Amino acid sequence: MKTKINPCLWFDTQAEDAALFYTSIFKNSKITVISRYPEAGQEHHGKPPGSVMVVAFELNGQSFTALNGGLLFKFNEAVSLQIECADQSEVDYFWEKLSEGGDPNAQQCGWVKDKFGLSWQVVPEILPSLMTDPDPAKSARVMAALMQMKKLDIAGLEREFAG
């Protein structure tokens, strides 16, 4: 089923490199289309004719667009992509892959900034139930533990939940 909402990620000139990087990490992923800048409109876009303009790609069935739009905009933490992980091995896998070459100072509470500056949240799918338990003491212990972690440790969170 085609999705109606597809994130568009703005890069300077790294759209193709980013799409190749992301599709190498996520299963069932692929680059679907690469379009190039024409000579027309060069007075506006300033990109060399034939250079990559847009890369359409899919990560596990979710469509994305990567645009080489220039230096006008940069990623920031106001928008991130969240990965729900079934278990610790998935958390470890995505954390390792996405943090490679990224900003180690931007890692906290399951957040990773990759080498392109895009923020990701690598979280276990059990986290919402741990954070919304009717017993506020359990949720508070989980939150306190989470705030001390960079990469999330499911066993550690579950220990805190159990008290």
Q: What percent of the chain has pLDDT over 90?
A: 87
Asked whether the predicted pLDDT for residue 1 surpasses 60, the reply is no
Asked whether the predicted pLDDT for residue 12 surpasses 60, the reply is yes
Per-residue pLDDT tens digits for 109-135: 999 999 999 999 999 999 999 999 999
CATH architecture of 80-162: Roll (3.10)
- Quick count: other Cβ atoms within 10 Å of Cβ 20? 14
- 28 Cβ contact partners less than 8 Å away, ≥ 6 residues apart: 58, 60, 61
Q: Spelled out in words, what is the top-level CATH class assigned to the domain 8-68?
A: alpha beta
Portions of the chain given CATH number 3.30.720.100 = 8-68
What sign does the dihedral 35-36-41-45 (CA atoms) show?
A: positive
CA-based end-to-end distance of the chain:
43
Portions of the chain given CATH number 3.10.180.10 = 80-162
Q: What percent of the chain has pLDDT over 70?
A: 98
d(CA 114, CA 110): 13
Per-residue pLDDT tens digits for 32-85: 999 999 989 888 888 899 999 999 999 999 999 999 999 889 999 899 999 999
Grade residue 2 by pLDDT with cuts at 50, 70 and 90.
low
Calculate mean pLDDT across residues 23-31. 97
Grade residue 139 by pLDDT with cuts at 50, 70 and 90.
very high
Asked whether the predicted pLDDT for residue 155 surpasses 80, the reply is yes
Phi, then psi, of 5 in degrees rounded to 5: -120, 120
| pLDDT of the residue at 31 | 98
Torsion, CA 83, CA 3, CA 79, CA 11, rounded to 10: 100
Asked whether the predicted pLDDT for residue 100 surpasses 90, the reply is yes
Decide which of 147 and 4 is more confident.
147
Decide which of 31 and 40 is more confident.
31
